[in-house]
A and B are shown apart, each in its own frame.
Chain A
């Protein structure tokens, strides 16, 4: 041992050995991730069978066998049903969606006036996009524009009746337009209202606390359908005769009140998570209640509950579909209404229309949830261990 020359030192890095054959390449990945144990293997085979069964069917139905264009139902009927497609055919009837696309987006909004909706949408996106991208400056101005100024612009544009724009009744609105308007109003109203309710619920004044608790728990305990029903049918009974509200406005009130109760609980969760020291620190600095909440507690609490807030938004976005129960036509409502169009009655119409609506809803909700995850990561300023 001692005779070895110990002074030799390697001067360049040794080349890395190839990993053992069992640990590298596709084979190893498969073994590790799919066939690690016998149970795993069975699960994999089972799952593969499920995928092999469903995936071709879904692809065939939605893409390869689908009918993309056509003037009426005959485009989507098989020979036995009076059409021209081979019997036994099954595929999506996108021609139906294609023909009704304008209706699905705008409802019965007059065709000549649809540019107003499109313009509103463009302004909406133009204000929203910079607000969502963290790098863009002037956030405060942008937020004021989006939450305070935009509603008025949208109101003038969509409802009209001013500056030579014809007045469009809300009963003509429909489709994605209604879905988005209700969601936007719900979001803009429910966040501040929810914060106030949450503060009220944690207030030291017993009566304010009691009122907030009763409101929050009552609204959260009943289905939205009941709240909409009340807003739609009971509200007129509560006001003096002759005083009427727009039906659309009533639905808006219902959704916004409902959402703010849920929002209040989310915000309360955030308030509870703020350590007591923060409150006491603020008190010791001599800050008043609103200063304490506005400057110290809320910024921290809201940051904590961003995922919860976005989840509430997503829930509300999905809940807008319920207005169809009180005979208003949001996206789902208008799709469903057109399903009974005799010109397009085929066995595939219902599935196609509903899948289309599902895709639209999914895109919005999935987008929101991804954005919330992204923001959560960005704002995560080291609170975790």
Chain B
């Protein structure tokens, strides 16, 4: 104490002011580290002891073992002979599939509802408001159950399937539609698509250059659509229509052939889309309202039509407000896809759970969960941050 006092007295008052809090800060941080290290050591020690006591092996070697169970939905080749590691990969792909399709649908639906909430049309506005207020205030799990137990599970049995147009069917085993089987020469269609895409890009460049130079506009959208769809069609015709459709037909138990979308996926996809769309709608609405009224008035004064005002003036500015909260909604949707386990859709979490049960590797599985979900979150954030930076207001 006395030594410190002497020290203090010896130094200028300015350094003593900075000096004191710094010591305190270091003291607290060291204390925290000690506590943390001790806590972690305690946990690790206990865990090792517990695992040793119950004779559980540790490490990720189990991932190379034969899984032995089948998975109903898999986009990558998988059989019961595949490894646990591959099973986790199947789960990850399934999670991503439902997340990506859900995000796309939720975004489209959310934008529509968000714009509808600001519509001049009273009736439309009310419908949109009811939609948002209903879905925003109900737990997502309940929405999933509603679709699964309330709607899809009481559809008729495969024998009495509901027939839909274009050879599709709907029954209690899900949604069936024809499978496209490409034959020889199909590459021409793909080539046509690539050519169409390249030409569209070229046309768009030229059109822009012309507009900059002369002010004349060129209908890029329609030309582009024509090119992108026309060339593949041309290739399709040239190759002699190399496509057959495999229609679903009634088998002994299920419809066979065609593509089956399971009711578990449908419920999850519909529920996540509808639920998240309500939040996106509010974000879009806030974004549009956040663009000052003068902008749309000025745009109108320039003679732009309401549609163009929205597309060229309001939305680009609103996007800057919309993107950050939109990112967190995308992340929420991805994380909510883990609710799949409640209705038996084989997502990452569900398959991880099964593996945990077969192997008992609780800690390893949780580590895998953490790493994968964190990476998905991080990658989505990075992408959205990049996108955000691209459209952000360039202030000079």
A/B touching: CB–CB < 8 A: yes
Interface residues of A (CB under 8 A from B): 33-34, 36, 40, 43-44, 47-48, 50-51, 204-208, 211, 218, 220-226, 229-230, 233-234, 237-241, 314, 318-322, 324-325, 332, 336, 339, 347, 350-351, 354-355, 357-358, 361-362, 365-366, 369
> Roughly how many angstroms separate A99 CA and B29 CA in the complex, as a whole number?
58
Which residues of chain A have C-beta atoms less than 8 A from B121's C-beta? Answer: 33-34, 36, 40, 43-44, 47
Determine if B373 and A361 form an interchain contact, defined as CB atoms under 8 angstroms apart. Answer: no
Which residues of chain B have C-beta atoms less than 8 A from A239's C-beta? Answer: 46
B294 CB to closest chain A CB (Å) equals 13
Give 5 A-B pairs besides A221-B377, A226-B369, A336-B145 with Cβ atoms closer than 8 angstroms.
A222-B369, A226-B366, A229-B369, A237-B51, A351-B150
| A223-B335 CB under 8 A given contacts A318-B139, A354-B146 | yes
**Which residue from chain B places its CB closest to the CB of A225 in the assembled complex?**
B338
> Roughly how many angstroms separate A357 CA and B43 CA in the complex, as a whole number?
39
Determine if B138 and A324 form an interchain contact, defined as CB atoms under 8 angstroms apart. Answer: no
Determine if B29 and A321 form an interchain contact, defined as CB atoms under 8 angstroms apart. Answer: no
B281 CB to closest chain A CB (Å) equals 14
Secondary structure of the B side of the interface?
Answer: helix
A362 CB to closest chain B CB (Å) equals 5
Choose one: A226, A321, A322, A369; the contact of B373 (CB below 8 Å): A226
Determine if A48 and B142 form an interchain contact, defined as CB atoms under 8 angstroms apart. Answer: no
B32 contacts the other chain (CB 8 A): yes
A385 CB to closest chain B CB (Å) equals 11
Which residues of chain A have C-beta atoms less than 8 A from B7's C-beta? Answer: none
Choose one: A220, A324, A366; the contact of B342 (CB below 8 Å): A324
Which residues of chain A have C-beta atoms less than 8 A from B122's C-beta? Answer: 33-34
B387 CB to closest chain A CB (Å) equals 19
Which residues of chain B have C-beta atoms less than 8 A from A240's C-beta? Answer: 46, 49
B341 contacts the other chain (CB 8 A): yes
A322 CB to closest chain B CB (Å) equals 6
Determine if A238 and B43 form an interchain contact, defined as CB atoms under 8 angstroms apart. Answer: yes
Determine if A365 and B136 form an interchain contact, defined as CB atoms under 8 angstroms apart. Answer: yes
For window 1-43 of chain B, which residues contact chain A by CB distance below 8 Å? 25, 28-29, 32-33, 36, 43
B277 CB to closest chain A CB (Å) equals 16
Determine if A354 and B150 form an interchain contact, defined as CB atoms under 8 angstroms apart. Answer: yes
Determine if B49 and A205 form an interchain contact, defined as CB atoms under 8 angstroms apart. Answer: no
Determine if B28 and A237 form an interchain contact, defined as CB atoms under 8 angstroms apart. Answer: no
Determine if B134 and A51 form an interchain contact, defined as CB atoms under 8 angstroms apart. Answer: no
Determine if B138 and A234 form an interchain contact, defined as CB atoms under 8 angstroms apart. Answer: no
| A207-B32 CB under 8 A given contacts A221-B374, A226-B369, A230-B366 | yes
B101 contacts the other chain (CB 8 A): no
**Which residue from chain B places its CB closest to the CB of A230 in the assembled complex?**
B366
Choose one: B141, B149, B338; the contact of A226 (CB below 8 Å): B338
Which residues of chain B have C-beta atoms less than 8 A from A221's C-beta? Answer: 331, 373-374, 377-378
